[in-house]
Chain A
């Protein structure tokens, strides 16, 4: 199957700093990627759809200025959590769907102190 990578796998930062998470498709090109957030013992919540060469589409209730998404190439999408606060601590996962089947990255665990 298709391979999606994420970096970093884990990040701890101080409140007020910005954190960038990368999502890469390793063996395919992805014009669209998806970003999810997962709270402990909860399901995945779709945050936004990342579109190569155009603006991301955000789900209702997700602050676009807080969660900046850039899809600059066919293999890379980035999610930047700006001015992070403890409530932004979560597990962030990206995915892509070549051929209609979703493939997920390993996730990034963000802890904001």
Chain B
């Protein structure tokens, strides 16, 4: 099956710093999403981005489908950005979603 890898696994930054999270996938995908899991476990949709670039405030994402990777950018980090960031893909005719291993982001005040 498809493999989804995220890097780095852990990231510790000072408030105000910028960060880039990467998601690599091993096969063509129909869909790619980025999620933020908050400390209470809730998964929050950030981007639905099978290809191209999208921006939402301090967050933006780029997916290069032909090269099988996606990047999530967080600018001017805030402590509330802390948590785990997952990318997840769907592929072939399946609508089920496969998650990457996640990046645990800690923003220090």
- Real binding pair: yes
Give the number of chain B interface residues (Cβ < 8 Å). 22
Assess the A102–B45 pair: CB atoms within 8 A.
yes
The total number of A-B Cβ pairs within 8 Å is 51
Assess the B98–A102 pair: CB atoms within 8 A.
no
8 A Cβ contacts from A57-90 to B: none
Residues of chain B within 8 A (CB-CB) of A102 are 33, 45, 88, 97
Residues of chain B within 8 A (CB-CB) of A107 are 41-43
By secondary structure, the B interface counts as: strand
8 A Cβ contacts from B69-109 to A: 86, 88, 90, 95-102, 104
Interface residue from B31, B43, B98, B101 paired with A104 (Cβ < 8 Å): B43
Interface residue from B30, B33, B86, B96 paired with A49 (Cβ < 8 Å): B96
B residues adjacent to A (C-beta < 8 A): 30-31, 33, 35, 40-43, 45, 48, 86, 88, 90, 95-102, 104
A residues adjacent to B (C-beta < 8 A): 1, 32, 34, 38, 41, 43-46, 49, 91, 93, 95, 97, 100-104, 106-107, 109
